[in-house]
Amino acid sequence: GQNIDQPTEMTATEGAIVQINCTYQTSGFNGLFWYQQHAGEAPTFLSYNVLDGLEEKGRFSSFLSRSKGYSYLLLKELQMKDSASYLCAVKDSNYQLIWGAGTKLIIKP
């Protein structure tokens, strides 16, 4: 079966750095997405990786290793507004998105 694993919950301090991991086992790979979802709101797109390496976008970076079936989302200079769930999703060989259950990130002052 296809599977995406993420930690259920993480806690970090305002101003610090946090890394949210995502491991996947899918039938084929056609890209990995990260989304942010604030409580009670819709998911919004953060990043896309299809090649190995690091993609940087402001305070957020996303890394991919296809050989390890592994990605992480790195958030720097954490702000209170970064408190949200972070969803990892992989497009399989049929271009269908497989979603992880999400990581709830709690930021403390």
Partner 1 sequence: TAGITQAPTSQILAAGRSMTLRCTQDMRHNAMYWYRQDLGLGLRLIHYSNTAGTTGKGEVPDGYSVSRANTDDFPLTLASAVPSQTSVYFCASSEEGSNSPLHFGNGTRLTVT
Q: Binding residues for partner 1, per CB under 8 A?
A: 4, 30-31, 33, 35, 41-45, 48, 50, 87, 89, 91, 95-102
C-beta of 30: minimal distance to partner 1 in Å? 5
Tokens of 24: 């996947």
Give alpha helix (H) positions in 29-85: none
Considering only CA atoms, which of 27, 20, 32 is closest in space to residue 65?
Answer: 32
Provide the minimum distance between the beta carbon of 67 and partner 1 in the complex, in angstroms, as a whole number.
20
CA distance 15 to 21: 20
Question: Which is nearer to partner 1, 12 or 98 (by Cβ)?
Answer: 98
Shortest distance (Å) from residue 33 CB to partner 1: 6
